[in-house]
Amino acid sequence: MDVRAYAKINWDLHILGKRADGFHAIDTVMVNVSLFDVLRFEAADGITLTCSDPTLPVDDGNLVVRAAKRLRELAGVKAGAKIHLEKRIPAGGGMGGGSSDCARTLLALNEFWKLGWPVERLVPIAAELGSDIAYFLYGGWCQCSGRGEVVERLPGSEKWPAIPLLLVLPPLHCATPAVYKALKASALPDGAQPRALKAVSTHVELQLSEIYRTAGSLEMYNSLTEASRAVEPGLLPVQDVLQRMYPGRWLMSGSGAVHFVVRKSDDDGAALQRAMDGIRAGIRVVNANTCALL
């Protein structure tokens, strides 16, 4: 069985404050993009993982292995799986590659082992393994709150068109814990609550309707932008170029280092690639689009 594990971007990201359990409360809109990893599952007695990226762990340090073992334990099955991960989503880029791989492992093994569990039964396992994994059990346009595990589909979003993007992939790594640690207390609102789902859906739909009609700002926001620059100063020249070429139409995804541009359909990214080549070697600009549904 071969399955695709799609990356995500944060269309917006609002940090609402620090919770009693030490996590930060968030309110974010996520959507899948057309960049994906590939997972291959074969029958086996135990749980083993190989990976095309030699820098990634293939033991219990990888969420794929932990997801497979936890599902096997809870389902009480004796079957195993030989898993191979073909890695295309940059690690540590804020696109949820590891979380997506984890969620797709749960979904695939649910089918591979013929468990027949509904997605809702997999959600607590996903939440146990990581904050944003539950999103990838659903995919598409969703509002995620809590520490990321509360997932609600944006009403009507299944009818929204695919949005053309340019993904900017710097050879930089932003460790999420370090970024949150660098987040200044003054940047956090006092007593903020997640936005109403219908209001969020209406706002995003209005943004999407303006993409082709204006070259102006789409009012995109990520609370972690300044903190990520403090952790990785190499992001600053990348963002300077984006603001000069696409003012108000770019954003960092998650805690970085990947950024995305909402582009016009006739923009192939060649000019942006030349500009990025001028500031740092190894920055890739990739054409992509949003995926409303997997």
Segment 108-130, tens digit of pLDDT = 999 999 999 999 999 999 999 99
Distances (CA, A) of 168 to 88, 95, 122, 225, 281: 14, 11, 32, 15, 13
Given this model, what pLDDT does residue 212 score?
75
**Domains of the chain as residue ranges with CATH:** 2-153 (3.30.230.10), 159-291 (3.30.70.890)
High-pLDDT (> 70) share of the chain, % = 97
State the catalytic residue, choosing from 8, 27, 87, 101: 8
Q: Is residue 59's pLDDT more than 80?
A: yes
Structure tokens at 80: 């195993």
Given this model, what pLDDT does residue 169 score?
97
State the catalytic residue, choosing from 12, 27, 37, 132: 132
Asked if 181 is an active-site residue, the reply is: no
Q: Between residues 210 and 70, which one has the greater pLDDT?
A: 70
Q: Which residues of 103-126 are buried (b: 16+ CB within 10 A; e: fewer)?
A: bbbbbbbbebbeeebeeeebbebb
DSSP structure string for 46-57: SEEEEES-TTS-
What is the average per-residue pLDDT within 260-282? 93
DSSP structure string for the chain: -EEEEEEEEEEEEEEEEE-TTSPEEEEEEEEEEEEEEEEEEE--SSEEEEES-TTS--STTSHHHHHHHHHHHHHT----EEEEEE--SPTTSSS-HHHHHHHHHHHHHHHHTT----HHHHHHHHHHH-TTTTHHHH-SSEEEETTTTEEEEPTTGGGSPP-EEEEEE-S----HHHHHHHS-GGGS-SS--PPPHHHHHHHHHHHHHHTTT-SS-----BTTHHHHHHH-TTHHHHHHHHHHHSTTSEEE-TTSS-EEEE--TT--SHHHHHHHHTT-TT-EEEEEEEES--
Given this model, what pLDDT does residue 12 score?
96
Structure tokens at 208: 């999407």
pLDDT in tens, 179-224: 999 988 766 776 789 999 999 999 999 999 888 776 677 888 999 9
Asked if 101 is an active-site residue, the reply is: no
pLDDT in tens, 218-258: 888 999 999 999 999 999 999 999 999 999 999 999 999 99
